[in-house]
Structure 1
Amino acid sequence: MSGLILPPGQGRRLTTPTQDVTFKATESDGSAISIFEVVVPPGFDVGAHSHHHAQEFFYVLEGELDLLAFEPVKRTEEGWQDWESADGDRVVHAGPGSSMFVPSGTPHAFRNSTDEPARMLFQSFPSPDHELYFEEITKIFAAGAGLDPEAVEELRIRYDVSQITPLRYDPPAQVSAGTAARNGA
């Protein structure tokens, strides 16, 4: 029996304007946990959702993300950024080294509210549900004719994703002032 060693940047990669996922360890490698490296573009909001069966773990490698992992006192359909738990938990703006564990049934979300990409390590149990989900949603995003809400909803139902607030992608309109200054603009 052998393990799996991948140099930086290696692994099977799925890329669209809203998704950049590199598979690191999958069911086909013998893993019971799906492990991915995910680049979250500026303006991407996965929307609050939950899974009845899956458990997830997120670890911020670079950049900053807004993270949520609790049942709010009151759910709102349009957004999750102002949610609060009965214990007073609120959304956390998290930087490198931050992590989030999500037990089955727990509402959770992440959003890149900055103007720079963020990179995270993402693990999901059991394998291969999220692997198949990413493969299929990549095809939907890659179709290029805009997001097909019916196709996304059907996909979510098949892969145990109970969406609470909408998935959104609102990329910044312009290059940030910090990026422009670094680039000499």
Structure 2
Amino acid sequence: MIPDDDPSRSLTVAHPDDPGTTYISLVGNTYGMLVTGEQTDGRYCLIDMYIPDGGGPPPHRHDFEEMFTILEGEIEFTFRGEKHTVRAGSTINIPANAPHNFRNASGASARMLCMCTPAGQDEYFLRIGDVVSGADAPSPSLSEEESAERRLRAAELASTYRSEFL
């Protein structure tokens, strides 16, 4: 039987140009929190990712599903050690627990949507990144000490957010 409607939950309409969208700078990438776990009762989150040439996270894995739809450009995904180039218009799903990473090796910027289910990645990014004014805002200039602190914080919080770096 389907549960009754929960009127305490409201419709969410996400638009990347909405002034209420929070943008995070993380390892040179910019992530817009379009739909948060708070808005979906923890079921999923949707993140708008702007990846400059050369950008992308280190190899990692986590116990939640992650799906990417490439909107602009192309991204090279490494999944269980095998490389796959994914171009605009395509969607790729990373199963929970599988080792992976992505990198923009195209020579141009790329943009993709990332959905994580259940949510949590949005909170992790908010805790380890730096808030910036928008999708086109420059990454903050961090000292070596500040960069080292961000890496340490990411490593320390990874297990809290069901992730590990490889």
User: Above 0.5 in TM-score?
Assistant: yes
Aligned match of 2:126: 135
**What are the superposed Cα offsets for residues 46-83 of structure 1, whole Å, 9 maximum, x if unpaired?**
122111x21110110001110123x3xxxxxxxxxxx3
The alpha-carbon distance between structure 1 residues 45 and 30, as it changes in their structure 2 partners (threshold 3 A), is closer
Contact 1:67/1:111 (8 A) holds in 2? yes
Of structures 1 and 2, the one with the larger relative CO (CA 8 A, separation 6+) is 1
The alpha-carbon distance between structure 1 residues 6 and 104, as it changes in their structure 2 partners (threshold 3 A), is closer
By percentage of residues, which structure has more strand?
2
- Identical-residue share of aligned pairs (%): 23
User: How many residues are paired up?
Assistant: 144
Greater Rg, structure 1 or structure 2? 1
Contact 2:24/2:125 (8 A) holds in 1? no
Kindly state the Cα deviation for residue 18 of structure 1 after the two structures are TM-superposed: 1.0
* SS of equivalent residue, structure 1 residue 30: coil
Aligned match of 1:183: none
Structure 1, unmatched stretches of 5+, are 72-82, 84-89, 165-185
1:120 and 2:112 correspond: yes
Contact 1:57/1:122 (8 A) holds in 2? yes
Structure 2 counterpart of 1:136, one-letter code: R
Aligned match of 1:159: 161
* SS of equivalent residue, structure 1 residue 133: helix
> More deviation in 133-142 or 36-45?
133-142
Aligned match of 1:27: 37
1:13 and 2:8 correspond: no
Kindly state the Cα deviation for residue 116 of structure 1 after the two structures are TM-superposed: 1.4
1:40 and 2:45 correspond: no
* SS of equivalent residue, structure 1 residue 134: helix
**What value does the CA root-mean-square deviation take over the aligned residues?**
2.3
Distance in 1 separating the partners of 2:123 and 2:141: 17
Using the size of structure 1 for normalisation, the TM-score is 0.69
Distance in 1 separating the partners of 2:16 and 2:23: 16
